[in-house]
Structure 1
């Protein structure tokens, strides 16, 4: 993924049913800040000149994380998601990152089914917590 891909990626996000878009984190400025902090490990998939899949991928020096993993509905079941995930995981390995995680909404049946089918482990031994630092970073669902 390159900075110039932002507009097309954002348009893709808006087509994904149930997708949460944050007003600040997913703004052009927010995504470009993320890509610059994590160069070369986020990925897009293209078909016929359009972006049909994307993964924002980053790490903190210890653990990698996937954000906003998606494939356009018309292009699913073709190995695109798996190929993007493999690309991002190899990029993380090159940076000596040994583990990667992601969060999938419980309602996201397609995503949860996909991750289980490609060998990711569903964790039942932990609780996930977060704390909002900026109430202006509003999430809207598509």
Structure 2
């Protein structure tokens, strides 16, 4: 795994990331467009973390910290690269970032139907908190 490169995304990576998510990510988000991802990288240049092997994008995670909570989104590994330590390396980088910023606990949103994702999060030491329920309101049409 020494050939795995972990780095923050840049504006030049955004189109590649969006295409990658269509192959590797489970579900879609209202922010899965060029404007949404560009806003993220502009506001927090270290939040979108990429994993590359041989110059090819093989994984992503968004490690967002708002000064209060550490949120993990879009942990995605290319289907052909799963179970090779890519997700673990991305989570380690995200967790190191959170600790450096003063974060105390990371949380992840995982789709109920995403059994593969749930297995990966459990293997990384995360546990579901069933007493919480996500509440949403779309702010744009």
The TM-score by the shorter chain falls in which range? 0.7 to 0.9
- Matching of residue 121 in structure 1 with residue 121 in structure 2: no
Q: Which residue of 2 aligns with 1:39?
A: 45
- Matching of residue 49 in structure 1 with residue 55 in structure 2: yes
RMSD: 1.4
Match of 2:113 among 100, 107, 110: 107
Question: TM-score with structure 1 length normalisation?
Answer: 0.86
**SS of the residue aligned with 1:20?**
coil
Aligned-partner Cα distance in 1 for 2:97–2:131: 28
Structure 1 gap ranges (5+)? 136-142
User: Which structure is richer in relative contact order (CA contacts within 8 A, separation 6 or more)?
Assistant: 1
Aligned-partner Cα distance in 2 for 1:128–1:14: 24
- Matching of residue 133 in structure 1 with residue 139 in structure 2: yes
When residues 20 and 40 of structure 1 are mapped into structure 2, their CA distance, relative to the original with a 3 A threshold, is same
**SS of the residue aligned with 2:74?**
strand
Query: Structure 1 residue runs of 4+, over 3 Å off?
Result: none
Give the conservation status (yes or no) of the 8 Å contact 1:41–1:92: no
Q: Which residue of 2 aligns with 1:2?
A: 10
